[in-house]
Structure formats: C-alpha cells, structure tokens
Amino acid sequence: MPKPVVPEEKRRRRRPTKSGTVLSEALIVETALRLLREHGSAGLTARRLGLALDADPSTLYRYFRGMDDLTLAIGDALIGQALKGWRRTGEWRADLKEVGLRIHAAYVSHPQAALLTTNRVTGRANELAADEAVLDVLRTAGFPLPETVRIYHAFIDQTLAFAALDAASLALPSASQRADEEMWRSTYARLPRTSHPRIAEAAPLLATRMVTSAYPTALEMLLDSAEARLEAVTD
C-alpha cells in the first residue's frame, strides 16, 4: 500500500535537516526542477533529491506517495508559474491567448520537466484553476457548452503538444540543436527547383521560420476558428 502523506501543517513542525533546511513540498519540487535541468530525467531520483536537500531519501515519502506523485506536483507547479500574475481583461480572445502563451512559456523554460509532465493529468490545484479559467472565459464569452468543451480540448492539447515538441528540441545537446537548425540552410536551401520546386521557392522563408516555435501562429489560427464559431452561434 502507498505510504500515507503527512498533512502540510504537520510537516512544517518537523525539525530541520542537518543543514538547517525546513522541508516543504514547494522546496522539494523546486529542487527537483533544478535536478532535472542539470541532469535530465535520469538524474531525478529519491537518492539524488535526498542528497540535494540534505535529508534521508525516505523523508520524501512523507510529502509524496512516490516519484510519480512528485512528477505530478512538478507539472502542477509549472502551471502555477504560468498563472502567476495573470489577470483576466474581459476580452475572451486576449485572455485565452495570454494564458496559452504563458503555459507554453512555463513548460519550455523547463524542457526536461516538460518532457515528463506535458502528457500527464495532475488533478492538482493549479491545473484545476487553469481549466476552470479557460472554461469560464469561453462560457462567459457566449460559447454554448458543447462548443466550449470542443474549443477547450483543442486549446489545452495544442498548447501542451507544442510545449512538448519545443521542449524536446531544447532538451537536445547543443550540437544536435545546431545541426538541426543548420539543416534548413545546408540542405533545404540547396535543393534544385527541378526536383523540389516548392521547397526551393520557400527555402529562405523556411530557414527563418522553422527554427522558431509555430505555437503563436497555431494559437492565432485556433482563436480565429473559435471566433468564427462564436459569430455563427450568436447570429
């Protein structure tokens, strides 16, 4: 059976570690994010966390039911970072665009963590707050419930899919990143018009655009579609 998780208020009453650190769920998540950034997913173990926190690895299980539970907390923390400071303006399109860009940016700022968490459903407070906010923005704008759910589904999945794609590129070794980017100039730009006419004519633009994220463009396209649907149902 999974070990019981000690309530937060009881954890804070526990004695500090040998180095004087008072453990908390937030501190463990913050440390886990650092280990992921420095060592990748293979470096995130209870043993490494214990060493980094100057605590016995078993102590972590007072805060999390296991490493998978910690993974969910990391994903929720990234969503929390995205929501921090976000305020609704009352303009549904602007509000969705802002929250989408914030979520995408939060994940790609921690590529290794994004690779672990973008496909997970945490059920935790920040994820629930984000879902409630997106659904409420759409319903308040006047979208019928079926359209709200349809757009919400596309919006969330598109945001997380691009976050995972872009994080995977950023998580590559620097040499591999440079090689991928150079491919658009060294190979695509040199293809002859006789065999690849469309690539040849687009090569200069491809070399510029394909090394950046397409998420902002895809988000605008999704919002254009949503706006058209709203006009159709309110006419």
Whole-angstrom distance, CA of residue 106 vs CA of residue 216 = 14
Confidence of residue 14 (pLDDT cuts 50, 70, 90): low
* Domain range list for the chain: 8-65, 90-234
* Residue 173, both tokens: 């070794």
* Residue 105, both tokens: 């940016």
CATH code given to domain 90-234: 1.10.357.10
Q: What pLDDT score was predicted for residue 233? A: 87
Assess whether pLDDT exceeds 70 at residue 157. yes
Assess whether pLDDT exceeds 60 at residue 6. no
pLDDT single digits (tens) 36-91: 999 998 889 999 999 999 999 988 999 999 999 999 999 999 999 999 999 999 99
Average pLDDT, the chain: 92
pLDDT single digits (tens) 128-142: 999 999 999 999 999
pLDDT single digits (tens) 158-215: 999 999 999 999 999 999 999 999 999 999 999 999 999 999 999 999 999 999 999 9
CB 199 within 8 A of CB 141: no
pTM of whole model > 0.75? yes
Q: What pLDDT score was predicted for residue 235? A: 72
Mean pLDDT, range 5-32, rounded to an integer:
71
Whole-angstrom distance, CA of residue 207 vs CA of residue 112 = 26
Q: Which of 171, 66, 65 is nearest to 118 (CA)?
A: 171
Q: What pLDDT score was predicted for residue 8? A: 55
Whole-angstrom distance, CA of residue 179 vs CA of residue 84 = 36
* Residue 188, both tokens: 């695509």
Assess whether pLDDT exceeds 70 at residue 10. no
Q: What pLDDT score was predicted for residue 43? A: 87
CB 76 within 8 A of CB 120: no
Residues 8-65: name the CATH superfamily.
Homeodomain-like (1.10.10.60)
Instruction: Report the 3 state secondary structure along the chain.
Output: CCCCCCCHHHHCCCCCCCCCCCCCHHHHHHHHHHHHHHHCHHHCCHHHHHHHHCCCHHHHHHCCCCHHHHHHHHHHHHHHHHHCCCCCCCCHHHHHHHHHHHHHHHHHCCHHHHHHHCCCCCCCHHHHHHHHHHHHHHHHHCCCHHHHHHHHHHHHHHHHHHHHHHHHHHCCCHHHHHHHHHHHHHCHHHCCCCCCHHHHHHHHHHHHHCCCCCHHHHHHHHHHHHHHHHHHHHC
Whole-angstrom distance, CA of residue 64 vs CA of residue 73 = 9
Confidence of residue 20 (pLDDT cuts 50, 70, 90): low
